[in-house]
Amino acid sequence: MTQNAILLLQAGNAGMMNLVFIGAMIVIFYLFLIRPQQKRQKEQKTFNEGLQKGDEVVTASGIIGRINKLSETEATLEVSNKTFIRVTRSAISKEMTESFVSEGDDQDK
């Protein structure tokens, strides 16, 4: 074979390696970015659907309160004695609520 033919064969393999590399990058993005985000969204949705009157929650902005009323889209929180605020249900944070509740359990011991 001539030298030009050998170079053309090598160039063909480089194109295939680029496709494999791009495919591997897509898989890595899916495994490390997209899949965990979908899992968190599913957990937040389940948490939101399981809210009940009397639960102590923390909003995304850091307001701590006890649920007084629930509707499909809103929750009324009692933040102090006879002080109520209305927030959207999506504003109630699962992560912040869980960390607040577990922190309170640690202080009780």
pLDDT in tens, 96-106: 888 887 876 66
pLDDT at 15 (0 to 100)? 73
> Is 0.85 topped by the overall pTM?
no
- What residue numbers bound the domain in which 106 lies? 52-109
pLDDT tens per residue, range 69-86? 999 999 999 999 999 999
* Cα–Cα dist 99/66, whole Å: 16
Structure tokens at 26: 């897509």
- pLDDT for residue 19: 87
Q: Which residue has the tokens 């701590």?
A: 64
Residue 3: the pLDDT is 62
Whether 10 and 27 share a structural domain: yes
Q: Yes or no: say if 59 and 93 are a contact pair by the CB < 8 Å rule.
A: yes
The pLDDT of residue 68 is: 94
3-state secondary structure of 100: helix
Q: Residues 14, 60: one domain?
A: no
Q: How many domains does the chain have?
A: 2
Say if residue 106 is in the same domain as residue 57: yes
Residue 67's domain is classified under what CATH number?
2.30.30
What order of strands is seen across the sheet that includes strand 64-70?
A: 56-58, 64-70, 74-80, 83-88
Rounded Cα distance, 80 and 91, in Å: 19
Average pLDDT over residues 12-32: 85
Q: Is 85 exposed, middle or buried (0-12, 13-18, 19+ CB in 10 A)?
A: middle
